[in-house]
Amino acid sequence: MNHLLTIADLTNEDLEQIFDLTDRLKEETNTGIDHPILAGQTLGMIFQKSSTRTRVSFETGMFQLGGHALFLSSNDIQLGRGESISDTAKTLSRYVDGIMIRTYDHSDVEELAAAGSIPVINGLTDLLHPCQVLADLYTIRENKGRLQDKKLTYIGDGNNMSNSLLIGATKVGMDISLAIPKGYRPDEDVVTKAKMQAQESGSQIEILADTLTAAEDADAIYTDVWASMGDEDEAEERKKVFSGYQVNEEVMDVAKDNAIFLHCLPAYRGQEVTGEVIDGPQSVVFDEAENRMHVQKAVMVSLMADQAIMEDL
């Protein structure tokens, strides 16, 4: 594991290591045990897209690991003024120990990783959001005890979240049903990759139009905003298209009685989810948000810690 660009690149052993390490780091954090595993190291954080959870979780997590996180917006580095990604990667590789980037084009993240000599973490692209889905899978595991043979239902837009959930669920052996309106399907290359993974893991994939059919007997129900960052010009049109794709009590009622509700946040009550669901007893959205930090700490340790330290963990 040299980078985290997509969950598809991780082995099942990598995932187990990340989740087991997350268990340990979360427990130590919650019991006040220091773990300065990355003391003296710096994570460069490139933000071409802003975010509450991504910035705070990475920056706080790096601090808890004994290291330093350096916030770099487009206004702070030459990448925003036309310097090539390759030159940026080579330069930052001389200064910092790892890079987290949150940007638009997935190819930019791939180029950054290929040109540099340090680990690169995909903090989000328009195609994929692997850090979020690792936290999602960890949260389901935390609540359900296991991931294999569980059913995840996603309702909403075929965006980077649906893409990443397809990759993540089929990697770990979860069944996944998606309720998505016509014309808003997930990326077809991602669907093809997910189907290949499903053959190996035994997962079942459904991409449907009807929300209640997709949600039937689900262990976890997931949704995201109808208009992601960059889709603001389509917001009003999307409200019409997605009006029948709201997670409400009717949807939760056809899932299993102990089903949990997840959302990557930010959420818009009354649009993709009702207040009764997101603020109700089945919602784990703030546990999920907290787990971003714990899982990302495990990712940073796995990528950036010295081998001798890893062997002792």
Any idea how long the chain is? 313
Q: Is 224 a catalytic residue?
A: yes
- Active site residue: 246, 264, 271, 294, which one? 264
Q: Is 78 a catalytic residue?
A: no
**What one-letter code names the amino acid at 24?**
R
β-strands 260-263, 220-223 pairing: parallel
Angle at 180 between CA 175 and CA 186, to 5 degrees: 75
Q: Is 129 a catalytic residue?
A: yes
* All residues at 6 or more sequence positions from 123 whose CB lies less than 8 Å from its CB, including other chains: 45, 47, 51, 54, 58, 100, 101, 102, 131
Angle at 50 between CA 305 and CA 64, to 5 degrees: 30
Question: What is d(CA 32, CA 142) in angstroms, rounded to the nearest whole number?
Answer: 21
- Active site residue: 17, 41, 132, 296, which one? 132
- Active site residue: 106, 238, 292, 294, which one? 292
- Active site residue: 3, 53, 102, 238, which one? 102
Which residue matches tokens 């930052």? 92
Question: What is d(CA 124, CA 127) in angstroms, rounded to the nearest whole number?
Answer: 8
- Active site residue: 106, 129, 238, 263, which one? 129
CA distances from 289 to 239, 252, 260, 283 (A): 25, 21, 14, 12
Q: Is 264 a catalytic residue?
A: yes
Burial class (CB in 10 A: 0-12, 13-18, 19+), 182: exposed
Q: Is 68 a catalytic residue?
A: no
For residues 66-77, one letter each, b for 16 or more C-beta atoms within 10 angstroms of the residue's C-beta and e for the rest, the string is: ebbbbebeeeeb
Q: Which residues are catalytic?
A: 102, 129, 132, 224, 264, 292
